[in-house]
Amino acid sequence: MPRSTVHDVARAAGVSLATVDRVLNRRPGVRSQTISKVEAAALAVNYSRDVAAANLARRREYPMLFIVPSGSNSFMRGLEREIRRGASQFAAERIHIDVVTVPAMDADALTRAIDRIDPAVHDALAFVAVDAPQVRAAINRLSKRGVPAVTLVSDLPASSRVHYCGVDNVRAGRTAAGLLGRFVSPPGTQIAILSGSLRLNDHAERKSGFEAVMTAEFPHLDVLPAMQGNDDSDLTETIVTQLLSERPELAGLYNLGAGNRGVIRALRKSGRAGMVKVIAHELTDHAREALETGLFEAVINQDAGRQVRSAVRVLKAQLDERPVIADQERIRIDIFLRDNMP
C-alpha cells in the first residue's frame, strides 16, 4: 500500500496542510479540539512521520554538550579524545558536540556546569555522573527545561536522565571476582579492593558485584575492607605500598577504579610484582604494559568510543521522539589477558 502523507491527514481531518504541519510539529496557535481531530485523522489513515526527511527538510541541527572529568585519569582522557573525534565524524549529520571538563568527583562543580546549560544553545547533554543529591536535582531541573540527558561510564539512578551508556558495572565486578578467585586459591589468602570513590556509582556497583561473588563462591578467601584512592596515582601508590608492607600474606588485588600507574609503581618497589595477582579496569597504555610484563593478570575494559556513539544515537532519538533500540545500545564487557590484547 502507498504510504499515507500529510495530504491524507489534512483531507481526513478537514483542515489545511498548514494546520497539520503545526500539530505534527507541536507548534502553538492550534485549538485543542483541532489538535485532537488531526491526531485522530493521522491514526485513521495510518500516517507515520518520516522524521529523518522532515529534519532534513527543516535543516534540523543537533547541538549536544558532553561533560567529563578533568585530570590525569587515562581512561577519561581517552573518553574525551573519543568525544572530540566523534564531534568531527557526526558534523556531517548536523550533530554539533561541545565538551566541558569539571574537576573529577566534584559534585558541586558538576552541578554548576549542568545548571549553566542554556537550552537555546544545547539541546541535549551527556555526562559522567557523580552520585550526589545536588547532581540528581540539577538533572531533574534540566529535564524540566526540556533538555534530555544521558549518563556515561557511571550512572545516576533515581534521576530524570533518559539512558545510561556504559557497561553493567555489577557484572563487571562479578567478572573480576570470578577471575581473581580462580587465580588465588589457598585458604585464608587475603584479597584487597581498591576503589577511586564509592560516591561514583560505577565503583560502588563493581564493589558490590565483586563482594557478592567472593562471598558466595570463594568463602575461603579473606576479602579486606575496600580502600579509596580517589583515582589519584600518587595516593594509590602510597596506599598500595603501605598495604604490601603491612600484609605480606596479600595474594590478590582488585583495582576497580583508576590509579593503575600507582599500583604498578608500588608493586615494582615492593619486589612483589607478579606474586600479587591483580585485576584492573580499562586497557590504557599503562595497563597494557602491566599485562605484557605480568604485573596484571587481567584487565576488564569498556569501549569509550562505543559509549560516545551510543550517547549520540540515544540523544538524537530523544530529540526526534523515536524509540531507542536497546540491543544496539548495550555496551559489552571486554576481558583482556596478555595473550588476547588488541
Least confident interval from 112-121, 184-193, 310-319: 184-193
**1 compared with 337, residue with greater pLDDT:** 337
DSSP 45-84: TT----HHHHHHHHT--EEEEEEEE-SS-HHHHHHHHHHH
Per-residue model confidence (pLDDT) at position 212: 98
CA distances from 169 to 111, 191, 325, 341 (A): 24, 20, 21, 21
Please tell me whether residues 278 and 188 are part of one structural domain. yes
**138 compared with 27, residue with greater pLDDT:** 138
Reported as a pLDDT band with limits 50, 70 and 90, residue 130 is: very high
Identify the residue whose cell numbers are 534530555.
148
In a domain, 235, yes or no: yes
Q: Stretch 274-279: mean pLDDT, rounded?
A: 94
Please tell me whether residues 107 and 122 are part of one structural domain. yes
Q: For 71-96, what is each residue's pLDDT tens digit?
A: 999 999 999 999 999 998 898 888 99
In a domain, 225, yes or no: yes
In a domain, 28, yes or no: yes
Please tell me whether residues 161 and 309 are part of one structural domain. yes
Please tell me whether residues 203 and 92 are part of one structural domain. no
Q: For 166-211, what is each residue's pLDDT tens digit?
A: 999 999 999 999 999 999 978 778 999 999 999 899 999 999 999 9
Q: Does pLDDT of 57 surpass 60?
A: no
Burial class, 238, CB count within 10 angstroms (exposed 0-12 / middle 13-18 / buried 19+): middle
In a domain, 261, yes or no: yes
Q: In the chain, what percentage of residues exceed pLDDT 90?
A: 76
pTM comes to 0.81
Q: Does pLDDT of 59 surpass 90?
A: no
Please tell me whether residues 214 and 293 are part of one structural domain. yes
Please tell me whether residues 182 and 284 are part of one structural domain. yes
Per-residue model confidence (pLDDT) at position 206: 98
Please tell me whether residues 308 and 162 are part of one structural domain. yes
Q: What is the DSSP letter of 91?
A: G
Please tell me whether residues 281 and 189 are part of one structural domain. yes
Q: For 233-252, what is each residue's pLDDT tens digit?
A: 999 999 999 999 999 999 99
Alpha-carbon gap, residue 276 to 103, rounded angstroms: 32
Collect all residues with Cβ–Cβ distance below 8 Å to 65 and sequence separation of at least 6: 97, 98, 99, 100, 117, 122, 124, 125, 126
Please tell me whether residues 237 and 308 are part of one structural domain. no
Q: How many domains does the chain fold into? A: 3
Alpha-carbon gap, residue 122 to 104, rounded angstroms: 23
In a domain, 339, yes or no: no
Residue 35, domain CATH: 1.10.260.40
In a domain, 277, yes or no: yes
Please tell me whether residues 263 and 283 are part of one structural domain. yes
Query: Looking at the DSSP assignment, which residues form a beta bridge with residue 254?
Result: 193, 279
Please tell me whether residues 176 and 292 are part of one structural domain. yes
Handedness of CA 242, 70, 329, 160 (dihedral sign): positive
Domain that holds residue 215: 169-301
Residue 295, domain CATH: 3.40.50.2300
Q: Does pLDDT of 1 surpass 60?
A: no
Angle subtended by helix axes 6-13 and 17-24, to nearest 10: 110
In a domain, 1, yes or no: no
Per-residue model confidence (pLDDT) at position 6: 82
Please tell me whether residues 256 and 181 are part of one structural domain. yes
Q: Stretch 219-243: mean pLDDT, rounded?
A: 96
Please choose, from the candidates 207, 331, 202, 195, the residue with its C-alpha nearest in 3D space to the C-alpha of residue 260.
195
Handedness of CA 208, 161, 311, 64 (dihedral sign): negative
Alpha-carbon gap, residue 311 to 307, rounded angstroms: 6
Q: Stretch 283-302: mean pLDDT, rounded?
A: 96
In a domain, 337, yes or no: no
Query: Looking at the DSSP assignment, which residues form a beta bridge with residue 194?
Result: 227, 255
Grid cell for residue 185: 586459591
Per-residue model confidence (pLDDT) at position 280: 98
Alpha-carbon gap, residue 292 to 299, rounded angstroms: 11
Reported as a pLDDT band with limits 50, 70 and 90, residue 53 is: low
Alpha-carbon gap, residue 109 to 111, rounded angstroms: 5
Residue 253 φ/ψ, nearest 5 degrees:
-140, 130
